[in-house]
Amino acid sequence: MHSTWGMLHALAPHISPFFALLSDGLSGLTDGRSRILLDKRLDPVERRCALMHELVHIEHGHTGCQGPRTERRVRHEAGRRLISPTHLLEAYRWTEHPEELGVTPRQSSSTCSRHSQTASAGGLARR
């Protein structure tokens, strides 16, 4: 599991996130170079997930709006960095509330979904 704030300082020390009231449905935005905007209404867990998502965009050199396929890939990668699929599946044995794991429900389902696809592609049977 990665520290989102530590990763921000390592990957992009010149970027300081700004907090603003973003349009409904948007948690964060980046121009891919010098700015990250996070919705000021986010709770700490949502903020952590949104920041990691935007950092993945920066790391891949994405600028401007991305298509649904790229967004899905970024969401999966951010999810894997926030919590490993193994830890997530183990944790689901004791809770069904992903917020307790430090990820949003969308991020946890994305991570589980990607893990299932990887396991299936690797010849592992789903249970």
Residue 72 maps to a domain: yes
- pLDDT confidence tier of residue 74, bands split at 50, 70 and 90: very high
Determine the structural domain holding residue 65 and report its residue range.
Answer: 4-121
Burial group, residue 95, by CB count within 10 angstroms (0-12, 13-18, 19+)? exposed
Residue 22 lies in a domain: yes
Residue 82 lies in a domain: yes
Total domain count, the chain: 1
State residue 19's pLDDT score: 94
At 114 the pLDDT is 45
Q: Is residue 126 part of a domain?
A: no
What is the per-residue pLDDT across 83-100, written as a single tens digit (0 to 9) for each? 777 776 776 677 666 566
107 in Cβ contact with 75 (< 8 Å)? yes
In a domain, 32, yes or no: yes
Q: What is the pLDDT of residue 20?
A: 95
